[in-house]
Amino acid sequence: MYNLLVANFSRLKKNIFFWGMIVISIIIGLLLILNNTTWVTPGVDTLLTSNIIYVGFFISIFVSFFVGIEYADGTIRNKIIAGHKRSQIYLSNLIVSIVGAIIIELAYLFTILSVGSIALKPPTLDFSTLIMVFVDIFMFIIAYSAIFNFVTLVCSDITVSTVINIILIIVMFVIILIIETPADAEKTTTIYNDGEEIEVLNPNYPGDNIKNICRTILYSLPLGQSMEIQSAISELSLKGESNVNINVMYLYSLVVIVTVSLIGIYIFERKDLK
C-alpha cells in the first residue's frame, strides 16, 4: 500500500490536470472577489461556497483522467501482476484523488480568505461555525472524490468515465431542482391581510414523510449539500441564524463515502480487467 501511495503521489505532482485545476480555482476566486459589489454584505463568508458548481466539474475531470490513465497505459494490470491487492489499488487511488481534490479546493479557499479579506471584509462568522463550515466543505469534496473514483475504476475507460461523472453532476442538479422546494417547505406561511402579518397553514406543504425523504436525499448529494451550506452561510452572515443544521452535514457525506467505497471495492475486486 505504501509503495502504491508513493507512486500515485509522484504521478500527482506531474499531473497537468491537477495543476490546471489549481490555477483555474485561484482565477475563479480572484474573479469572484473582483465582481463582488455587495459591499454591505458582511465579510467574505458567502464567497466560501460560491464555487460549488465549478468544483464538482473540476474534481470529476481530475479524478477521471488521473485514475483513468492507469487503465489506459496498463498500470493497474501491472500492479495486480506485481502482487498488489485490488482493494489496495482502489484505496490508494481514492486517497490520492481525495488529497488532490482537497488541494484544488484549498487553492480557492485560500484565495478567498487571503485576498478577499483584504479587498472586501474578513469573515464575520464565529470561529466554531467557520470550522464547522470547513469540515462540511471538505467532507462533501471527499464524497465527490469517492463517487468519481468509483465510476472511473468501474468503467475502466477515461472518456466514458469522464462523461458519466459530468452527467452525474447534471443529474444531481436536476434532482435538487425537483426536491429542494418540498425539502425546505414549512408547515405554515405568512400572509399579509390589511397590513397585518397572519400565519396560516401552508397549502403546498408536502407532509413530514415526504419532506424528510427529500431532505435526506438533498443532504446526501454532494452538490445538494454544498448548496444548503451556501444558503446557511448567507443566512448566518445576514441574520445570525439559519434553518439549515450545518452540524450534521458531514455525517451524510461520511455515509456516502463509506457506502460508495465499499461497493466500489467489492465490484473492482470482481471486475474482469481486459
Q: What is the pLDDT of residue 231?
A: 80
Residue 159 has pLDDT above 60, yes or no: yes
Which runs of E-coded beta strand occur in 151-266? Answer: 188-193, 196-201
Confidence of residue 258 (pLDDT cuts 50, 70, 90): very high
What is the pTM (predicted TM-score) of this model? Answer: 0.86
Please report which residue ranges of 73-126 form alpha helices under DSSP H: 75-81, 86-111, 117-119
Q: Mean pLDDT score of the chain, rounded to an integer?
A: 82
Non-local CB neighbours of 126 within 8 Å, separated by 6+ positions: none
Residue 15 contacts residue 66 (beta carbons within 8 Å): yes
pLDDT at position 107: 93
Burial class (CB in 10 A: 0-12, 13-18, 19+), 106: middle
pLDDT tens, 10-63? 888 888 888 988 999 999 888 888 877 555 455 677 788 878 777 888 888 888
What was the pLDDT predicted at 49?
Answer: 80
Residue of 22 and 238 predicted with greater confidence: 22
- Over residues 252-262, mean pLDDT: 93
Binning the chain into helix, strand and coil, the percentages to the nearest 5 are: 75, 5, 20
Q: Could you tell me which of 41, 35, 13, 22 has the C-alpha nearest to residue 109?
A: 22
107: nearest Cα among 20, 166, 229, 223: 20
d(CA 193, CA 199): 10
pLDDT for residue 189:
67
Q: In the chain, what percentage of residues exceed pLDDT 90?
A: 19
Per-residue model confidence (pLDDT) at position 193: 63
pLDDT in tens, 86-107: 888 889 889 999 999 999 999 9
Which residue ranges make up each domain of the chain?
2-168+245-270
